[in-house]
Amino acid sequence: MPDWMDMTSNHNAPVLTDPPPMTLTKSRLGTHSSLYQPHGVVFSPTLFQSIPWKKPLIVNDVRSSSWLDAMKSSSPTHRKKAKESSTELASTDTDFYHSWMLKYPSALTSFEQITNYGKGKTIALFLDYDGTLSPIVDNPDHAFMSDTMRAAVREAAKYFPTAIISGRSRDKVYDFVGLTELYYAGSHGMDIVGPVRPLSNDHLNCIRSTDKQGKEVNLFQPASKFLPMIEEVFRALVESTKDIKGANVENNKFCVSVHYRNVDEKYWTTIAQCVQKTLEDYPHLRLTHGRKVLEVRPVLDWDKGKAVEFLLESLGLSNCDDVLPIYVGDDRTDEDAFKVLREGNRGYGILVSSIPKESNAFYSLRDTSEVLEFLKSLVGWKKSSSL
């Protein structure tokens, strides 16, 4: 059993925990050679995470079971095969899910509790895209959301300030969602368009701009200096993975996704090695795991949690007792947002998952169809309570 499978959690249910993010660095920030720092790049000391010292990674690291376990952890094929071979296992899975739900109750069955707490408050909605609004599919370019979901999000945005926070580039996620009435944060929150409003001095990278409709907006791109580096590493990753059948490298503007969903499992170590080898030349970039994807992003103290805080401030909703932020997401990167809401006792994270996993969320929803139901219920509640 992989070491991230924690048998000691509440209710004796096995729960998947995420492996720690991989940090691909050779030396402490500031001590390594300027070889890696592109011309003109001045890294903001407040945003730039201090890179923990680590001994140089060797290629063998990716063969360690934790890498492969992490890569396998979101593998539906494994679960499906196991279920096919044992109906007993399938029913045990269901039991585990139900005991897990004692810790992360369904946001649908707990709906009254949520809305009771939301009474008299402004509910701010934050929605992840892949796996939350659109089902996970093999081809990332075909992750379309249904018209019904789009209509539900549009309706929700009429009653609640609503933002999409995605790992995809902002343009790409906007093309999928196609709703002008929302706010968008792409590249895991490193590319945010919010309403025009004076912000605290922490956000020096925030500039006035215009959106596609010509409306004046605040544009916040804390990783803008990394753009040339990300483009370079994108090209390098395309090249280094080109012979791996099924590998797909996606440019998400301030981060890069290396997909292995369509790669034969026997080559997963190879793809991990390729990525690791390429990143050895980029100590200012780090690697995290998503759903059958390795994500390369700047070593920057910025994530979806920070993006939620930024958007709340932009919307004039931070530090208010009468605001209830709700964040719905399915992936590891969404945990940063769940954590911000949980730790600040500020709102609710809702994890979308059909398998038990450890999370900072308060509630759960099983899949995108339950997300749809939740959004519709929220709108129905708001309409009836304002009659």
Ligand X SMILES: O=P(O)(O)OC[C@H]1O[C@H](O[C@H]2O[C@H](CO)[C@@H](O)[C@H](O)[C@H]2O)[C@H](O)[C@@H](O)[C@@H]1O
Residue 125 sits in the site that holds ligand X (CB under 6 A): no
Q: In the set 140, 189, 283, 349, which binds ligand X (CB under 6 A)?
A: 140
Q: In the set 166, 218, 273, 278, which binds ligand X (CB under 6 A)?
A: 166
Residue 357 sits in the site that holds ligand X (CB under 6 A): no
Nearer of residues 166 and 278 to ligand X, judged by Cβ: 166
Residues in 294-323 that interact with ligand X by CB under 6 A:
295
**Sequence-ordered list of residues with C-beta below 8 angstroms from that of 304, at least 6 positions apart, any chain:** 128, 165, 185, 188, 189, 329, 333, 334, 336, 337
Q: What are phi and psi of 349, to 5 degrees?
A: -95, 140
Residue 255 CB, nearest approach to ligand X (Å):
7
Residue 191 CB, nearest approach to ligand X (Å):
12
Residue 189 sits in the site that holds ligand X (CB under 6 A): no
Nearer of residues 195 and 246 to ligand X, judged by Cβ: 246
Residue 379 CB, nearest approach to ligand X (Å):
22
Residue 143 sits in the site that holds ligand X (CB under 6 A): yes
Q: What are phi and psi of 31, to 5 degrees?
A: -105, -15
Residue found under tokens 């009474």: 119
CB burial string 74-104: b at 16+ within 10 A, e below: beeeeeeeeeeeeeeeeeebeebbebbbebb
Backbone angle region of 214, left / alpha / beta, with phi > 0 → left and psi within -120 to 50 → alpha: left
Three-class DSSP category at 179: coil
For ligand X, the nearest residue by Cβ is: 167
Residue 176 sits in the site that holds ligand X (CB under 6 A): no
How many CA within 13 A on the CB side of residue 16? 18
Residue 72 sits in the site that holds ligand X (CB under 6 A): no
At position 383, the amino acid (one-letter code) is: K
Residue 129 sits in the site that holds ligand X (CB under 6 A): yes
Size of the site for ligand X (CB under 6 A): 24
Query: CA angle, corner 207, sides to 284 and 156, nearest 5?
Result: 95
Q: Which one from 6, 93, 95, 128 is the annotated catalytic residue? A: 128
Binding mask 249-288 for ligand X (x = CB under 6 A): -x-x----x-x-x---------------------------
Q: What are phi and psi of 142, to 5 degrees?
A: -110, 25
Nearer of residues 25 and 333 to ligand X, judged by Cβ: 333
Q: Contact region for ligand X (CB under 6 A) — 55-63, 108-116, 133-141, 316-324?
A: 133-141
128 is catalytic: yes
Residue 131 sits in the site that holds ligand X (CB under 6 A): yes
Distance (Å, whole) CA 162 – CA 174: 13
Residue 168 sits in the site that holds ligand X (CB under 6 A): yes
C-alpha closest to that of 335 among 356, 352, 311: 352
**Sequence-ordered list of residues with C-beta below 8 angstroms from that of 37, at least 6 positions apart, any chain:** 43, 284
Nearer of residues 291 and 342 to ligand X, judged by Cβ: 291
Is residue 318 within 8 Å of residue 199, measured between CB atoms? no
Q: In the set 253, 286, 292, 332, which binds ligand X (CB under 6 A)?
A: 292
Residue 130 sits in the site that holds ligand X (CB under 6 A): yes
At position 138, the amino acid (one-letter code) is: D
Q: Contact region for ligand X (CB under 6 A) — 49-57, 194-202, 292-300, 308-316?
A: 292-300
Provide the binding-site residues for ligand X, judged by CB under 6 A: 128-131, 136-138, 140, 143, 166-168, 250, 252, 257, 259, 261, 290-293, 295, 331, 333
Residues that are catalytic: 128
